Amino acid sequence: MKLLLLPGDGIGPEVMAEVRRVIATMRLDLEVSEALFGGASIDAHGVPITDEAVAKALASNAVLMGAVGGPTWAGVERSKRPEMGLLRLRKEMQVFANLRPALCFEALAEASPLKKEIVAGLDIMIVRELTGGVYFGEPRGIEKLPSGERRGVDTQVYTTSEIHRVARVAFELARGRRKLVHSAEKSNVMESGLLWREEVTALHKAEFSDVKLEHILADNAAMQLIKDPKQFDVILTDNLFGDILSDEAAMLTGSIGLLPSAALGAPGKAGLYEPVHGSAPDIAGMGIANPLAALLSLVMALRLSLGMTEAADKLAHAIAMTLERGYRTRDLGGSVSTAAMGDAVLMALG
């Protein structure tokens, strides 16, 4: 099995160092390679991801990235920004279903900004469409009008097949969970939202009537996530709403430093795994970033792309144990360093 690591920028390389240590210690039977990504790639090659790195990703079974971007590259021409490298990678790998779990670890319910009873035991899975919608829709651009005014355009667009393939992932996941899917859109305002609702309804009726389907407007979903997050099991939504709702759900759990994600394409195709936290330039280089989101992303990769379920269970257990033993990085109110957190996980692995 081939695993490509893309450490990227900011705290990316720091958390990825712990991933490498865990892979070595667990003696995982993986062919691990690495490539530059994001700002690091811009500095070396002038582009956020090279064609060779994309080819390497496509030839791998799983790609694990750290984080991209930072103020250093804020002035770079838009089409060459670090974020564009990430969008290109998602598009080329055709990873249309982005799984973003929001799980509140027992040991950490106190760390949430919400009351403990609202979040304790929280277990939500957000399924975000990742290769379509307004992120990629055409036309797009900024144009100058004859009047001298400027006009910015983005296009929100979805087709039946794009909706069905991501909805199928959500329904199938729900079957292994609490069998409940909330599909979030703005069908009250948007045509693409109305199509989304109709197509999800049709697919549900045809193939997944054993799962309960609820439709919810995306703004209401944002409110319900704060009010009573435990009412949700799987939330299915588009690229833009998924971007927003997944950040909100992440914060419910106490720290974005704990959340992994997986982006999946057609069965058998390589998955793209990344911690939900960004490059966190404010703490980059200080050795205090939480490596657990990256390690949990490795857990997801082992489970979903690399066929190593046993190793995944073992690592997940070691991470939970590390938290139970009281190890806390700064994002969780403690002062344990990135490397010491890695040490604690290695210790828990035995």
Interacting residues of 98 by C-beta distance below 8 A, sequence separation 6+: 126, 127, 128, 129, 130, 242, 246, 261, 262, 263, 264
Residue closer to ligand IPM (CB basis): 67 or 108: 67
Minimum separation from the CB atom of position 204 to Mg ion (A): 27
- Integer Cα distance of 269 and 96 in angstroms: 11
- State the nearest-atom distance from the C-beta of 320 to ligand IPM, in Å: 25
**Complex with ligand IPM: residue 81 or 303, whichever CB lies closer:** 81
Instruction: State the residues that interact with ligand IPM by CB under 6 A.
Output: 83, 86, 243
CB of 324 to ligand IPM, least distance (A): 29
- 3, β-bridge pairs: 32, 62
123 is catalytic: no
Rounded to whole angstroms, the Cα distance separating 59 from 237 reads 29
Evaluate whether 83 touches 69 at the Cβ level (below 8 Å): yes
Catalytic, 210? Answer no
Closest CB 135 distance from Mg ion, rounded Å: 11
Residue 83's binding partner among ligand IPM, Mg ion, none (Cβ under 5 to 8 angstroms by kind) is ligand IPM
Q: Where are the beta strands (DSSP E) in the chain?
A: 2-8, 31-34, 62-67, 97-103, 123-129, 141-144, 150-153, 180-185, 212-217, 234-237, 262-264, 271-273
Instruction: Choose between 30 and 93: whose C-beta lies nearer to Mg ion.
Output: 93
State the Cα–Cα distance between residues 132 and 90, nearest whole angstrom: 10
196, 187 Cβ separation under 8 angstroms: yes
Residue 219 appears among annotated catalytic residues: yes
CA–CA separation, 263 vs 295, rounded Å?
16
Question: Contact letters (x/-) for Mg ion, 227-246, by CB under 5 A?
Answer: ----------------x---
Residue with smaller CB distance to ligand IPM, 136 or 178: 136
Write down the catalytic residue from 135, 158, 273, 327.
Answer: 135
Question: What residue 173 binds from Mg ion, ligand IPM, none (CB within 5 to 8 A, per partner kind)?
Answer: none
User: Rule CB under 5 A: which residues touch Mg ion?
Assistant: 243
Q: Which residues are known to be catalytic?
A: 135, 186, 219, 243, 247
